[in-house]
Amino acid sequence: MQTDSPSEETPADRRRLRVRESIISAAERVFAKEGESGLSIRRLADEIDYSPSAIYKYFGSKDELIDELKEAFFERLLAKIDGSSSADRPFLQRAKACVATYVDTAVTRPFHYAAAFSSIKHALPENGGGPLSWDGFVTTSKGQAFGVLISMVTEGQELDIFDPSLDPVMAAKSLWAGSHGLAQLLIHMPHFHQLVPEEQPMTAKDFIEFHADLQIRGLLKPTDGSGNGRLPGQNS
């Protein structure tokens, strides 16, 4: 998503951006305390001492505000992935960092993550929801984040590291599903990584990294004819 550089922004543009960001931050706080049902333009007005009409200048409806909350989470995620996956790092390190960053970002901002996947009732067939529109999806920050996964799988195949027989889109879906599942578990069961007392103690960060390593390992090009890939330098 392209934005004007600071030199091209007017003071009015910067003020508008600050107000918009303050509204989104307030929406995240309200969502954290009261859930989607408690989030409304009037409730937000009370939270930040604005008039409802002032907020309507930025968001025309509650649904528009929630859509912006979803976009804001994935914009944050894309920025973090970009920061942790610089091109000068070895590919496998970048790939694992991409997966781990997704889970870590979700766990760090659990209520914003919940908001990013809210409004499921609108997506159900009985409420008029239909299949995802790919053309519409790829223009969103969520779609761009999914595109990062597809590009990562494709790059791994081009580098002769990932299994060339894998469908990059299917593999990306699997990576997303696995990462989303772990994020939800760590959010709803904060001590999930310590579930079995007899296990060696580990932190949530340790388990996230283990999970990322295991997911990426599952994409590796088979090296022994068994269909099971290994990370370079790893013993059987």
Taken in order of first residue, the domains within the chain and their CATH numbers are: 11-60 (1.10.10.60), 69-118+132-223 (1.10.357.10)
Average pLDDT over residues 228-232: 45
Q: In this structure, are residues 136 and 121 in contact, taking their beta carbons and an 8 Å threshold?
A: no
Residue type present at position 11 = P
pLDDT at residue 4 greater than cutoff 60: no
Taking only the tens place, the pLDDT of each residue in 166-212 is: 999 999 999 999 999 999 999 999 889 888 877 778 899 999 999 99
Closest CA to 206 of 85, 82, 98, 104: 104
Q: In this structure, are residues 67 and 180 in contact, taking their beta carbons and an 8 Å threshold?
A: no
pLDDT at residue 70 greater than cutoff 80: yes
Residue type present at position 155 = E
What pLDDT sits at residue 131? 60
Q: How far apart are CA 152 and CA 137, in angstroms?
A: 19
What pLDDT sits at residue 129? 53
Taking only the tens place, the pLDDT of each residue in 14-55 is: 888 888 888 888 888 888 788 778 888 988 888 888 888 989
Confidence grade of residue 229 (pLDDT, cut at 50, 70, 90): very low
Q: In this structure, are residues 220 and 191 in contact, taking their beta carbons and an 8 Å threshold?
A: no
What pLDDT sits at residue 121? 53
Average pLDDT over residues 128-152: 82
